[in-house]
Amino acid sequence: MAQVNEKKLLNAKTMEENALSSRDYRFGFYTDIESESIPKGLNEDTIRMISKKKNEPDWMTEWRLSAYRHWLTLQEPKWANIVHPPIDYQGISYFNAPKEKPKSLDEVDSEILETFERLGVPLSEQKRLVGVAVDAVFDSVSIGTTHQKILEDQGIIFCSISEAIQRHPELVKAYLGSVVPVKDNYFAALNSAVFTDGSFCYIPKGVRCPMDLSTYFRINAAQTGQFERTLIIAEEDSYVSYLEGCTAPMRDENQLHAAVVELIALDRAEIKYSTVQNWYAGDKDGRGGIYNFVTKRGLCKGAHSKISWTQVEAGSAITWKYPSTVLMGDDSIGEFYSVALTNHRMQADTGTKMIHIGKNTRSRIVSKGISTDEANNNYRGLVKILPSAENARNFSQCDSMLVGNRCKANTYPYIDVRNNTAITEHEASTSKISEEQIFYLQSRGLDLEHAVSLIINGFCKEVFTKLPMEFAVEAVRLLEMKLENSVG
């Protein structure tokens, strides 16, 4: 069943949108460092080259090649409500890394350290964030991970996926591709063939991770794709909160980011995964920006396990992303909290899938879409309740807010129930940011921007409260910055 609510808004005379100039993207700078990349193009030799550069075991190379061979048989999916010129997969370089290979964080090129400092993620011993361990990924490689020692003492593994393949092959072999199979979809197959780096987290049985783990992804080089791969495993009775941030320089051409993230939660384990996505979104006319085609999926494998996705999607020219949860264990819980903001000519087709398999499984979806200028913002979500899922419950709420009269918002909820003990609820709303609300606040002394920011933050509150504190503050600031010139 697919319901389509399309609403183009008319009549907003007090809200002629001004174009947000690209100087407002303060992460749009480029770091000039010596790097090595492989020639553009994609074939089996490219994949062998990537695998060799990373000194991978044969099984990994073969895994990549089989993914590549399958990818060749696939077509790019066409069902999403997005439009873009064909992607030239032969026009991309699939590997780009700083030339100097640091042995530890102390040896990292000072230019790169400065870059991360400018991004608000200092890595050096003296300045690093206290409560958060950071894995910093620069183009195709992880340049280092902080606080590793403290984590190791508790048996927690937090490192780049490349390092994990070398040092923990048994874990990688057991879980890589177990939630998002190589053949899952076009972009997942591509990622499996050419992924370069990303993070690996392993939380042993009974351990509550003492700090947030986070990965900061930075695309720097031009004409390079970034193919991140992240794998998080939470053993029985463990807990971890993981954060992810992303930025890229401003460029006129589009760049491809195709990630795969897999989460596994065993009995009574809990994984909280938060994203603030702020890839470069292109300029006001839609030139440039990142194509963000991402497959994120969690498996609640154990009974009473819980996976919670929280995302603030504020960047990328195109977002194609559906962080999903497979509720296999009895009494497991899946949650999805999302704010997607699109302005200028950004396009977002994002949502979630909740697949109920186990008994008494519960899922909750709260999605807030905000669209301004000429942007196109879509929620697409699937709630599927299989015959085995006795007493499954789902609650979904999808709200869209439109700012101005040239943007669009669509909601595509799919609900597929195969067990008659299930209860699903779906609520949806589309509203225009109301002139009466703005005027009311203005008549109390708040200026237009302050009024709009209050209204938008109120609209997103339920999602923001799910974010870790510092992330919530950043998210609020990010939305304010993006909306600054969109209303008025």
Partner 1 sequence: MFEIRNLHATVDGHKILKGINLKVNPGEVHAIMGPNGSGKSTLSKIIVGHPDYEVTEGEILFLINGKMTNILEMEPETRSREGIFLAFQYPVEIPGVNTSMFLRAAYNEACKHQGADEMDPLDFDVYLHEKMKLLDMDDKFINRAVNVDFSGGEKKRNEILQMAILNPRLAVLDETDSGLDVDSMKIVANGVNTLRTKNNAFVVITHYQRLLNYIVPDFVHILQDGKIVSSGNKDLALAVENKGYDWLK
* 174 contact partners, CB below 8 Å, separation of at least 6: none
The nearest distance, CB 130 to partner 1, in angstroms, is 26
Q: Are 289 and 282 in contact (CB under 8 A)?
A: yes
Give the separation between CA 485 and CA 483, rounded to whole angstroms: 6
Residue 171 or 448 having the CB closest to partner 1 = 448
Work out whether 434 is an interface residue with partner 1 (CB under 8 A).
yes
Report the distance separating Cα 371 and Cα 486, nearest Å.
10
Q: Is 420 in the site for partner 1 (CB under 8 A)?
A: no
14 belongs to the binding site for partner 1 (CB under 8 A): yes
Of 16, 84, 90, 440, the one binding partner 1 by CB under 8 A: 440
402 binds partner 1 (CB under 8 A): no
Q: What would the DSSP string read from start to end of 294-343?
A: EEEEEEE-STT-EEEEEEEE---SEEEE--EEEE-STT-EEEEEEEEEE-
The stretch among 140-148, 275-283, 313-321, 449-457 that binds partner 1 (CB under 8 A) is 449-457
Please identify which residue in the block is written with the tokens 């999926």: 297
Q: H or E stretch including 62?
A: helix 58-72
Report if residue 16 touches partner 1, rule: CB under 8 A: no
Q: Does 445 bind partner 1 (CB under 8 A)?
A: yes
Helix axis angle, 186-194 to 44-53, nearest 10°: 50
Kind plus residue range of the DSSP H or E element containing 157? strand 157-160
If one asks whether residue 32 binds partner 1 (CB under 8 A), the answer comes out as no
How many angstroms separate the CA atoms of 63 and 183, rounded?
11
The binder of partner 1 chosen from 416, 458, 473, 477 (CB under 8 A): 458
- Sheet with 393-402, strands from edge to edge, namely 141-145, 132-138, 212-218, 239-247, 270-277, 306-313, 333-342, 362-371, 393-402, 423-432
Rounded to a whole number of angstroms, the minimum distance from the CB of residue 355 to partner 1 is 30
443 binds partner 1 (CB under 8 A): yes
Q: Which stretch binds partner 1 (CB under 8 A): 244-252, 316-324, 334-342, 460-468?
A: 460-468
Span from 156-164, 316-324, 403-411, 443-451 in contact with partner 1 (CB under 8 A): 443-451
Q: Does 457 bind partner 1 (CB under 8 A)?
A: yes
137 forms part of the interface with partner 1 (CB under 8 A): no
Residues in contact with partner 1, counted by CB under 8 A, come to a total of 25
Instruction: Determine contact, residues 236/272, Cβ cutoff 8 Å.
Output: no
What number of other Cβ atoms are within 10 A of residue 157's Cβ? 18
Identify the DSSP state of 430.
E
Which C-beta is closer to partner 1: that of 167 or that of 450? 450
Query: What is the rounded distance in angstroms from the CA atom of residue 178 to the CA atom of residue 180?
Result: 6
Q: Does 455 bind partner 1 (CB under 8 A)?
A: yes
Kindly tell me which of 211 and 463 has the beta carbon lying closer to partner 1: 463
- Is 444 near partner 1 (CB under 8 A)? yes
For partner 1, which is the closer residue by CB, 221 or 460?
A: 460
Q: Indicate the SS3 state at residue 133.
A: strand
461 binds partner 1 (CB under 8 A): yes
Residues that bind partner 1 (CB under 8 A): 13-14, 434-437, 439-448, 450, 454-455, 457-462
